[in-house]
Structure 1
Amino acid sequence: MKKIFSMATVAVLSLSLIAGCGTGGNTSGGASTGGEIKVGALFEQTGGAAQYGKAGLNGAQLAIEQQNAKGGVLGKQIKLDVADNKSDPGESTSQAQRLITTDKVVAMLGPMTTKTLKAIIPLVDQNKIPLVTPSGTDAALTVTGGKLNPFIFRACFIDDFQGNVGAQFAADTLKAKKAAIVIDTNGDYSKGLAKAFEDVFTKAGGQIVGKENYVAGDKDFKAILGRIKAQNPDVVYLPGYYTEVGALIKQAREVGITAPMLGGDGWNGDETTKIAEAKNMTNVYYSDHVAMDDPSLVEFSKQYQTKYNEAPTGFAALGYDAATMLIKGIEAAGSTDPDKVKAAMEGIKDLKGVSGNITVDPANHNPSKSAVILQYKDGKWAFANRVNPK
């Protein structure tokens, strides 16, 4: 009997150890022990959205490095566990699974794009991993079908607001009465901005004289641009990513479209200009989260330039702010417990970020912040206008 009792005791202890090792550590902050807090950084380092992902990761790394230099958070250093989603939803899911189940991260930063984030939302919420996306702008990322995705937050405004901003600028500043829209039919980002732009522009008395479609990866747009030229719009709205937008701008000018071209934050970065060519960038504007020529960003720009030997973009600023939001959430929670971190992040008010002061709406996890319109002028993107949320 003693032998049997001893064997049973060993079995129970063994099962307890196995159970302890099998638990993800996310409900008790297990991955934050040992002097560090492990945070996943799931960004687009390669693929079609690499320009965004590299900038976002750089910004996040800078914020984490500065926080660690001040002693970290909760007396521990933050360790970024970096993974490349390759700008692909399937790879995003695979890498998120590894970060959560194998590496036992307690929170995540990224991804940058709607499609790579949408793919991992069920996994993130199921495992209670607080996540902040720097630039995932689709409204459905935080609220899907009227239901809040409790652990998904963002550092950026949403597509509806961005499309609204573009339409207001077109109507009020450019004095446009007729607009044409060119939409990526496979892109939720493009379709979201286009719908919001059309709704607001038509309500303001404007007319949509043409809507044309393409698919990401297309290179020849002369046919659809020829049809747009025939409609003689006052403005052309291009809510897409830089790879296609650059080609659209270039070819639009080549077919003789001289109307202003307007888009969203997918234009951010030098690649749009490189593809379009500077000579074709007259009367070109886009909405963004921050203007890098804003005097209040001088110190951030200097720090970023020193670390990476390149000028920051708006996506770098958003990566920095996403990390700042997560740090604030963990600090305010006094723990890496996911429910406590989530509650703390929902209570963020007037947090000073690089892209502006951030207040989180607990009902939808969106920040309240202003947007800017940038214009390509004198060989660079420059501040043109600011639009505040209504």
Structure 2
Amino acid sequence: MKYGRLILGVLLVCILAGTAFASEDVIRIGVYLPLTGQMAFGGQLELDGVKMAHEAVPEVLGKKVELIVIDNKSDKVEAANAMQRLIEKEKVHAVIGTYGSSLAMAGGEISEKAGIPVMGTSCTNPLVTQGKKYYFRACFIDPFQGAAAAQYVFDNGARKAAMLLDVASDYCVGLGKFFEDQFKKLGGEIIATLNYQSGDQDFTAQLTEIISKNPDVLFIPSYFAEGAIIIKQAKELGAKFMIMGGDAMDNPEMVKIGGEAIEGFAFTTFPYDPSMPEMSELQAQFTEAWKAKYPDKDSNANSALGYDSYMLVIDAMKRAGSVDPEAVTKALAETKDFPGVTGSTTMNATHDAEKPVGIKKIEGGKQVFVGTVMPNL
């Protein structure tokens, strides 16, 4: 009986040791994105991009990479819970995500305390990385994007602007403020700022007041579903002014929701689109690979950012020669001129990617990439 217990104990130790050794042969990268809820479509596009990158580079440092995906459900509390689960239960070495600045801020509090490096996808609010050691992002930030939107409309003749903002969204409020600051700096005037709440479907009261002010442009830093409804209702009410949006409007579904009313709408985005007249070799390869894998779904800047985010993490691990969190964090901070689908990426001192702002416009019912803008800051 004594020997039986001893043998059983030895076997248990071997099994546990074998599990530990096996786990060391796998590098675990967590992904937390909104796959349900208000932001689901953008989150799914980013996940598709991450998965494409993983298929292209499934190993690093001689080990298999395992993706562990958790839906943060477009909710701040769920985002924090998702990050906690990835770190404490799944024992990930790094994390990718998320679409939605408010979600990234919630998750970032958890990753910062745990000391786990995170690569943000399209979370553009400056607060996502502000004061953070471990949170990075593959995208530009809202002060730059908001300034680019203001520069674009001002260069196209707008001198009086109105804004319609979702007061429950950190992204919308922040981007609106940065647009306002740059537009005023250029010599423009903000003649009306009205608000709504996430989930609203009727914007006629706000739009009626805005139309009465006769602006040259309406800036709506909205998410695509609500933004498309706003544009449609504005046109139904007889609006003739230019309407400009931010990167959260970069979604193929926008045209389906807004229909013909979307024609002429312009928005800022990241410097990638399948309609780009001139592409780098990497952008062309990504576009063709996407078409082959998803023939019924268009790629966009979000899918490209998902792809780039994975590749940035893999590149950092390669340069670090390790998956040690501190070593990977140091390598991410030292990223310089990394060639990605969304352009060359260099991490600045605040862990934000430096890259130009793209402009897209709806023409003939399709999203058309019209160029890039570098605001005069």
Report the TM-score, using the length of structure 1 for normalisation.
Answer: 0.88
2:263 and 2:364 in contact (8 A); partners too: no
- Which whole-Å CA distance do the structure 1 matches of 2:298 and 2:309 have between them? 19
User: Is 1:353 the equivalent of 2:336?
Assistant: no
- Which whole-Å CA distance do the structure 2 matches of 1:80 and 1:32 have between them? 16
How far apart are 1:31 and its partner, in Å? 9.5
- Which whole-Å CA distance do the structure 2 matches of 1:45 and 1:103 have between them? 19
SS in 1 for 2:187: coil
SS in 2 for 1:209: strand
2:312 and 2:332 in contact (8 A); partners too: yes
- Which whole-Å CA distance do the structure 2 matches of 1:226 and 1:360 have between them? 43
1:125 and 1:149 in contact (8 A); partners too: yes
User: Aligned in 2, Cα 1:156/1:171: closer, same or farther, shift over 3 Å?
Assistant: same
In structure 1, the partner of 2:366 is 380
Identify the match of residue 55 of structure 1 among 40, 45, 49. Answer: 45
- Once the two structures are superposed, what CA deviation does each residue of 1:50-98 show, in whole Å capped at 9, x if it has no partner? 1111010110111111012xxx210111110011111111111222211
Q: What is the aligned length?
A: 355
- Which whole-Å CA distance do the structure 1 matches of 2:241 and 2:31 have between them? 40
- Which whole-Å CA distance do the structure 1 matches of 2:151 and 2:196 have between them? 25
1:369 and 1:388 in contact (8 A); partners too: no
User: Is 1:334 the equivalent of 2:305?
Assistant: no
**Tell me, which stretches of 5 or more residues in structure 1 are unaligned?**
1-16, 22-29
Identify the match of residue 289 of structure 2 among 303, 308, 317. Answer: 303
In structure 2, the partner of 1:165 is 148
2:50 and 2:309 in contact (8 A); partners too: yes
RMSD of aligned Cα (Å) = 1.8
- Which whole-Å CA distance do the structure 1 matches of 2:34 and 2:21 have between them? 24
Q: Which amino acid aligns with 2:147?
A: N
In structure 2, the partner of 1:264 is 246
Q: Which amino acid aligns with 1:364?
A: T
- Once the two structures are superposed, what CA deviation does each residue of 1:100-143 show, in whole Å capped at 9, x if it has no partner? 11111111011111111111212101111110011010101101
- Which whole-Å CA distance do the structure 2 matches of 1:113 and 1:230 have between them? 32
Over the matched positions of the two proteins, sequence identity in percent amounts to: 36
1:290 and 1:355 in contact (8 A); partners too: yes
- Which whole-Å CA distance do the structure 2 matches of 1:58 and 1:227 have between them? 41
SS in 2 for 1:53: helix
1:114 and 1:138 in contact (8 A); partners too: yes
Report the TM-score, using the length of structure 2 for normalisation.
Answer: 0.91
The correspondence of residues 32-111 of structure 1 with structure 2, limited to 5 A, is 33-68=23-58, 72-111=59-98
**Tell me, which stretches of 5 or more residues in structure 2 are unaligned?**
1-12
The correspondence of residues 1-390 of structure 1 with structure 2, limited to 5 A, is 33-68=23-58, 72-143=59-130, 148-172=131-155, 174-277=156-259, 279-292=260-273, 293-294=275-276, 295-296=278-279, 297-309=283-295, 310-361=297-348, 363-388=349-374
- Which whole-Å CA distance do the structure 1 matches of 2:100 and 2:44 have between them? 12
